[in-house]
Amino acid sequence: MKTTQITDSLKVVEVTKTYASFQKNATTSDPVYLFQLPPKSALLSLYIQINKAFSIPNSTCKLNTTGDFLRYIDLSNRKGGSEYERNFSLNPYMYSTTTSLNIYATVYSYGLGYWETHNNSLNLARHGLASCGTKYSTLAFGGGTTTEYSADGPWVVVGDLNVSRTYLGGCGNNGNAALAIGGRSQSSIALNTVELYTIGPIKQGYPGNEPGTWANNGSFPVPIRECAAIGTISDALVVGGSYTSYYSNVYRYDGTTWTLLTDKNLLTPRGGHALAGTVTNCIAAGGITAASQNTAELFNGVTWTAAPNLNFRRQYSSGAGTFANGGIIVFGGYYVYPIAPTEEFHDTLNVWEVTNPMNVVRYSGSGCGKITVGQGGALAIGGFTSLSNGDPTSEVEIYYAAAGSATVLSNLTDGEFTAIMKYIQYQ
């Protein structure tokens, strides 16, 4: 134990333990005990360093406290090589207690998804954009006026929005038709206009799609920016957003009319959040406000219910996937600093699993696509890469979901890890 006295009544304590195995009672659900956070203290960080990889394929450690989930950590050598080290830490001051708090670990066999850089980047680097489709037919638009299309190959400019807009809502039909909803104008005014994109006649030189046209498609009921949208051009859902305040409103579009779903408000108002799924089965996560940054909620087409909290507070993050096609991921965003790790929601475990980080850390980008085990599916497109709001990136990445279902493991004996807990204690 290492102690650093800060003031007469405040000290920082660091506790280090090395484990050569995970031993768990195979007949009970009791997890492995790691640490005890003492009374009158606040957890600063918790690290797990893998000194020697465990040989169980896709072994994953779930760190948790009494009744509260903390973090997933990969314990196996998924990427090959001699050893695989991985560190994660909790956000400072995320957990505090007036009584003692035990920290445990439960070990699962579960694969971890990962990102690979797309062979082709956008022609125009940008932030605050929207996208729709799959990796085989993707439309990226907004963050200005430019629209680009990719059929899992080079990005081709296929048309311009009539109004420049960033931080818009966007959804559509497999990259061939899309809605651009609201957003922020060049003068930072919230827009209430909607545009509809449809493809034009066949023309040589365009990989699977032709130059399309954006046309005015009426008005949204209110000025809105920093909202999130899912669905098609004939059946869409717009969730949250902001204007003079942050909305909990949810709107449904039937191809003609926007309807406010007065009995289906979000539990927490949010803007700059991630949204993924379908119009009747989706999850909203993160957001700009303090109350929304690490919270999530599930929608079943009728009501919103609270989902487990994210592991990281995220503002301006992105989401992708559906529950029917491999699951949901939330990625990017920032809180104090840009967030690199991805979080994958497993509805069977009802938890967010931390998976591998993006190659280019980003926020205010866009995400779309489905997550299919063993295949690249979800896309991360554009965004800012630093909090200085400098030049945005044109980089595109593809997410590969891991195979396998979760299994609790009772005994791992052939690896070694070191756990380090650091906390502030008040005297």
pLDDT at 357: 81
Distance CA 424, CA 38 (A): 10
State the Cα angle at 87 between 81 and 91, rounded to 5°: 160
Q: How would residue 23 be classed by pLDDT, with cut points 50, 70 and 90? A: low
N-terminal to C-terminal alpha carbon distance within the chain: 17
- pLDDT by residue (tens digit) across 378-397? 999 999 998 776 789 999 99
What pLDDT sits at residue 18?
A: 86
Mean pLDDT over all residues of the chain?
82
Helix, coil or strand: residue 7: strand
116 versus 246: the higher-pLDDT residue is 246
Four-way CATH pick for 114-400: 2.120.10.80, 3.40.430.10, 2.30.30.190, 3.40.50.720:
2.120.10.80
Q: What pLDDT, on a 0 to 100 scale, did the predictor assign at position 172? A: 95
Whether 114-400 and 2-110+407-426 are alike in CATH topology: the answer is no
Q: What percent of the chain has pLDDT over 70?
A: 76
- What stretch of H or E contains 12? strand 10-19
Distance separating alpha carbons of residues 213 and 200, to the nearest angstrom: 7
Residue 175: pLDDT band with limits 50, 70, 90: confident
Q: What are the structural domain ranges in the chain?
A: 2-110+407-426, 114-400
CB contact burial 16-32 (16+ within 10 A = b; e otherwise): eeebeebebeeeeeebb
Q: Which residue has the higher pLDDT, 131 or 66?
A: 131
CATH of 2-110+407-426, one of 2.40.50, 2.30.30, 2.20.28, 2.60.120: 2.60.120
Greatest extent of the chain over all pairs of C-alpha atoms, in Å: 76
Tokens 């957990």, residue located: 95
In order of 52, 263, 416, the CA distances from 20 in angstroms are 9, 53, 4
Q: Is 349 left (phi over 0), alpha (psi -120 to 50) or beta?
A: alpha
Q: CB 80: neighbour CB atoms within 10 A?
A: 6
Average pLDDT over residues 91-120: 66
On the question of pLDDT at 308 being above 50, the answer is yes
What is the pLDDT, as a whole number, of residue 331?
Answer: 96
Does residue 242 surpass a pLDDT of 80? yes
pLDDT for the residue 105: 66
The predicted model gives 107-115 an average pLDDT of: 66
